[in-house]
Amino acid sequence: MKEQIQKTFEALFALEDIREVLREALPTGPDPAEEQAIREGVARVRAVLDDLEAGTGSPQVTKIAGSLDIRNREEAYINIQPIQAAGRLTLEARKALIAYGDGYSTCDACRKPFRLDQITKPPIAAFHEDLARFLNMDVVRVVPGARRGFQAVASTLVKPGDPVIVSALAHYTEFLAVEGAGGVVKEVSVSKENLVTPDAVAAKIEDVRRETGRTPALAMIDHVDYQFGNVHDVAGIAKVAHQYDVPFLLNGAYTVGTMPVDGRAIGADFVVGSGHKSMASPAPSGVLAATAEWAPRVFRTTAMVGDLTRRKFGVKEVEMLGCTLMGANLIAMMASFPAVRERTLRWDEEVKKSNHFIDGLLAIEGTKVLSEYPRKHTLTKVDTTGSFDTVAATHKRRGFFLSDELSGRGIAGEFAGATRTWKLNTFGLSWKKIRYLTEAFQEIAAKYELNVRTA
């Protein structure tokens, strides 16, 4: 298959060569030399297609711009990398990237009032409405990454010295957003099951009020945390936060775009999602949604007036820095959206596949799962200290033996060399791949004489 993959890339690149000739041609059409170049280009694509079909041919192109390998991780491997799974592009997103890669490609028909979210061609304005409905929130903006959502909200609500509630499992970007605004993170403890509970949030808010005399300016809690992939009771947490008059930001980096997220039902004041983590979009991309109550604050428009020219840019939003996610990333996000929306409805099946694989891994004696179990998400932390790590202890490649074995079976994305605690993500893998993956791990176990219980 390696040959077919390589030849597919070569054919795509050879077509881009032809496209470049067309870009150089005058609107009146290619001149004779350009026509000749196109004919030669077509002949090259045809030759590549012959190889593609036959599964033959040695690589003719190995680098892009002289320094970049052709990345084929999603074609040549089953990728279980914890942060990459749900950011894999859809077919339509890849086509969109081809057509909209150029810089300001979204801005061809930008008209008054000159703001990205109001452009109707391509249908960016309608996409914003769709996204708001999808999250059941009132107002959304696209942003270059979830972290920009945290930053915008923290910058709006958090004043120097303000305490902000996060959890002991919070992502580092929440720390940075609070720090940037001059606030101080206050971590909620987790239960022994590594869950953030409403009671623990209430207790922390009480503690903070007692210690600092201030009510937290904001609570940011991960719907599903990055460390265990556990699903936390965010609706319960939102309720508690509101009892103390603390606005609640839902960090949906691992949920918006993978599982159903109903911001209103959860009671979130803000919902943040990640395009490149969970919405099948290129990085950086993301979404920030707010309720009608909070939107005017986080999406406030500029009030600055030039002292000399009296210029005002009244429609531009301060925290968004005006337009946000112009170009290829937004268009790819839009192209993926119909598939992304639909896949959240099949979340139960993703959870089933996750459990199928984890059960297969647990059948290898000595293996433990550190995440909640049965799994409710596709991101899982496992502990193979009692299984694969016992092999690593005496293997000349140490922990890399497992990477070697996986790689040899066309599996990528484990943390190379790690055989104790590590994370993986099965999101989006077909049943066929889930079974192959499960068998591969059991096969490796058996090869190194670990006991594998049969189902």
Binding site listing: 146-147, 251, 274-276
Site string for a copy of itself, 92-111 (x = CB under 8 A): xxxxxxxxxxxxxxxxx---
Q: Is 160 exposed, middle or buried (0-12, 13-18, 19+ CB in 10 A)?
A: exposed
Question: At 81, phi and psi to the nearest 5?
Answer: -60, 130
Contacting residue, 194, 230, 255, 281, with a copy of itself by CB under 8 A: 281
Where in 48-67 is the site for a copy of itself (CB under 8 A)? 49, 52-53, 64-67
Q: What angle do CA 159, 306, 295 make, to 5 degrees?
A: 40
Q: Applying CB under 8 A, which of residues 47, 57, 60, 81 lies at the interface with a copy of itself?
A: 81
Instruction: Choose between 7 and 377: whose C-beta lies nearer to a copy of itself.
Output: 7
Q: Which is nearer to a copy of itself, 107 or 235 (CB)?
A: 107
| Torsion of the alpha carbons at 9, 14, 15 and 19, rounded to the nearest 10 | 130
Least CB distance from residue 355 to a copy of itself, whole Å? Answer: 21
Nearest distance from C-beta of residue 377 to a copy of itself, angstroms: 17
Per-residue mark of binding to a copy of itself, 189-218 (x: CB under 8 A)? x-----------------------------
Contacts with a copy of itself: how many residues (CB under 8 A)?
A: 140
97 Cα distance to chain centroid:
17
Site string for a copy of itself, 398-417 (x = CB under 8 A): -----------xxxx-----
8-state DSSP, 311: -
Cβ atoms of 88 and 428 closer than 8 Å: yes
Member of 33, 36, 56, 91 binding a copy of itself (CB under 8 A): 91
- Extract the tokens encoding 281: 């979009």
**Assigned token pair, 192:** 């022994």
Cβ distance to a copy of itself smaller for residue 176 or 235: 176
Nearest to 4 by CA among 36, 46, 45, 49: 49
Q: Are strands 68-69 and 218-222 parallel, antiparallel or unpaired?
A: unpaired
Q: At closest approach, how far in Å is the CB of 239 from a copy of itself? A: 22
Residue (128 or 186) nearer to a copy of itself, CB: 186
Run of H or E including 270: strand 270-274
Residue tagged 């009030």 (tokens): 303
Residue numbering of the annotated binding site for pyridoxal 5'-phosphate = 146-147, 251, 274-276
Closest CB to a copy of itself among 72 and 390?
Answer: 72
Backbone CA torsion sign across 370, 376, 380, 386: positive
Output 365 or 439, the one with its CB closest to a copy of itself: 439
Distance between CA 201 and CA 169 in Å, rounded? 13
* Beta carbons within 8 Å of 39's beta carbon, 6+ residues apart: none
Q: What is the C-alpha to C-alpha distance for residues 383 and 370, in angstroms, rounded to an integer? A: 7
Region 415-444 residues binding a copy of itself, contact defined as CB under 8 A? 430, 432-433, 436
CB closer to a copy of itself out of 100 and 267: 100
* 28 forms part of the interface with a copy of itself (CB under 8 A): yes
Q: Token match 């099948």: residue?
A: 280
Binding status of residue 177 toward a copy of itself by CB under 8 A? yes
Q: Any idea which residue has 């795509």 for tokens?
A: 12
- 312-351 residues near a copy of itself, rule: CB under 8 A: 313, 316, 318-319, 321-322, 324-329, 331-332, 334-338
Q: By CB under 8 A, is residue 86 in contact with a copy of itself? A: yes
Q: Which 249-278 residues touch a copy of itself, going by CB under 8 A?
A: 275-277
